[in-house]
Structure 1
């Protein structure tokens, strides 16, 4: 007889989710969106660890500095928080149609840790902007380094346009249609994470650059072996 196995539910429970605001600005729209995401995670019975890049501050990446001083505390703190969670949610602004330097720099430093902590990490990307595009171009740029590092970036990203007018005084989304889409997007993502947690896919190896072997000259290829 086939044994019963845990099944994903419509309200994922017992998941641990790290939610990061990619903006260092006080009272930023993306910090508000990150807080809303963390609240939604908790409302569905899971645990949210809410952070912003100011808590994870790192200097500009410098290979000589890394060899001399090692990894900065901010990167090590992010690694520790990633390792205690099942998924990552990032609410990031768009700077010049791309990724904010402070966030990209944090990713670059943290990617130097072995084993590399973004690999196989389920990730949802959010953005908020006063513009009509909602910061969406920045999310497309953010996908590139994360997917390169082996993160499973959720296909449906959420971008909040005209975000300066979108929130109520209580921090909720004023528009019911937008609020429903935001919630559905987050719940669908959490359902996927829950399914992946209970039904893990066995993957033998992963190499960032196909055809390249680990070599100090490259210093960018990693092989990961799982049981």
Structure 2
């Protein structure tokens, strides 16, 4: 049996963002798989750039990674009650590539934010952004890591048993969705 491929998209560019830590924790909870952490440091979407130069190589690489993944896990911060511009920009660019790499791909969404709701609003908006792509978007269990700066240890591991248990359930459900 070939190894599964899990693609992780962190909606923050900072190397040590809590959303990056959360997708790495998701990969551990998911279990045996080839884990790829996507690079979302893309140019801003610009129709003139697309028209003159085509789809940038970094964007096509992301679309190809999505298409090749057995499952995708996305973690979004919450900026002004919505997902980050980084994540929205990546979705906008990928929507311009040939075919639809998202279609029927199992996708789990989670969030990590400073506020007490843990990015719940950004996660709901992100789910709406994903709908046109027609992935197999999991409806839960929902994971919103609140007070995020205090929820990870020095190695980037979740310290809350409650969050870790929810993440474990979500990743088990994601793995089952691949077989489904």
TM-score w.r.t. length of structure 1: 0.73
Instruction: Name whichever structure is richer in helix by fraction.
Output: 2
Do structure 1's residue 40 and structure 2's residue 29 form an aligned pair? Answer: yes
Shift of 1:112: 1.0
Do structure 1's residue 84 and structure 2's residue 84 form an aligned pair? Answer: no
Residue 186 of structure 1: which of 152, 171, 174 is its match?
A: 171
CA RMSD of aligned residues (A): 1.6
Residue 112 of structure 2: which of 120, 128, 136 is its match?
A: 128
1:88-119 C-alpha deviation (Å, 9 max, x unpaired): 11111111111211211111111111212122
- The separation in 2 between residues aligned to 1:90 and 1:151, in whole angstroms, is 12
Shift of 1:26: 3.3
Contact 2:11/2:83 (8 A) holds in 1: no
Shift of 1:47: 2.2
Relative contact order, higher structure (CA 8 A, sep 6+):
2
Do structure 1's residue 150 and structure 2's residue 134 form an aligned pair? Answer: yes
Shift of 1:178: 2.1
Instruction: Please identify the structure whose Cα radius of gyration is greater.
Output: 1
Contact 1:19/1:49 (8 A) holds in 2: yes
Contact 2:12/2:76 (8 A) holds in 1: yes
Q: Which runs of structure 1 show a deviation greater than 3 angstroms over 4 or more consecutive aligned residues?
A: none
Segments of 5+ residues of structure 2 without an aligned counterpart are none
Do structure 1's residue 20 and structure 2's residue 9 form an aligned pair? Answer: yes
TM-score w.r.t. length of structure 2: 0.91
1:109-134 C-alpha deviation (Å, 9 max, x unpaired): 11111212122221111111121110
The alignment partner of 1:53 has SS state of coil
Segments of 5+ residues of structure 1 without an aligned counterpart are 1-12, 196-227
- The separation in 2 between residues aligned to 1:192 and 1:151, in whole angstroms, is 11
1:35-80 C-alpha deviation (Å, 9 max, x unpaired): 1112222xx22221123423xx2x2222232121101122111012
Count, aligned residues: 178
- The separation in 1 between residues aligned to 2:33 and 2:16, in whole angstroms, is 25
1:1-227 paired onto structure 2 within 5 Å: 14-41=3-30, 44-54=31-41, 57=42, 59-156=43-140, 157-195=142-180
- The separation in 2 between residues aligned to 1:30 and 1:73, in whole angstroms, is 25
